[in-house]
Amino acid sequence: MKTHLITALTTLYCIGAQAANIEITFTDMNNLSGELYVAVYNSEDAFSKKRAMQSQIVSVYKKDQKVILADVPAGEYSVMVFQDLDGNHQLNTNMLGIPTEPYGFSTNPRLMGPPTFGAIRFPVTEELVAISINME
C-alpha cells in the first residue's frame, strides 16, 4: 500500500513539475481602454478551428501590460490577442478584412494576411517562459 502511495505522489509531483507559466507582456498599447482578448493554441488543428486551449479577457489599464497563463504543459504554443475598444467582444475589421482595432501575435511576425500556427508558435520548455507581443 505504501508503495502505491509513494508511486502516486511521485507521479503527481512529476506531472506538476512539467507545467509552466507563460508571462506575456503586451507593449505599445496606445489606447488605455477596453479589454484584451487573449487566446492560446497548442496545435495547428486547434488554431485553424479557433479552439483555444486557454483564454483570458483582461481590462486594459496601462501601456505595457502583463498576463500570466498558469499551468501550461511543455509543448509548442501560439498566442493571438486583440484589444476590444468598443465593447462588442470581437475584432473589428474594415471592408478588406484588415483589423481596425489593435492586435498582436506571439513572435511578432511581419505578415501579409492571417498567421498560421507555425508562423507564430514558440516553445514552452521551462518553468517560466516570457514573451512580448507588440500591439499593432
pLDDT digits (tens, 9 = 90+) for 86-112: 999 999 999 999 999 999 999 999 988
Higher pLDDT, 11 or 104: 104
> What does CATH list as the number for 2-134?
2.60.40
C-alpha 96/C-alpha 105 separation (Å) is 20
Backbone angles phi, psi at 7, to 5 degrees: -60, -45
Residue 7 in this model has a pLDDT that exceeds 50: no
Residues in Cβ contact with 112 at an 8 Å cutoff, skipping those fewer than 6 apart? none
C-alpha 44/C-alpha 24 separation (Å) is 21
pLDDT digits (tens, 9 = 90+) for 48-98: 999 999 999 999 999 999 999 999 999 999 999 999 999 999 999 999 999
Beta pairing class for 19-27 and 75-84 = unpaired
pLDDT reported for residue 17: 52
Give the residue extent of every domain in the chain. 2-134
Average pLDDT for the chain? 89
Residues in Cβ contact with 75 at an 8 Å cutoff, skipping those fewer than 6 apart? 42, 123, 124
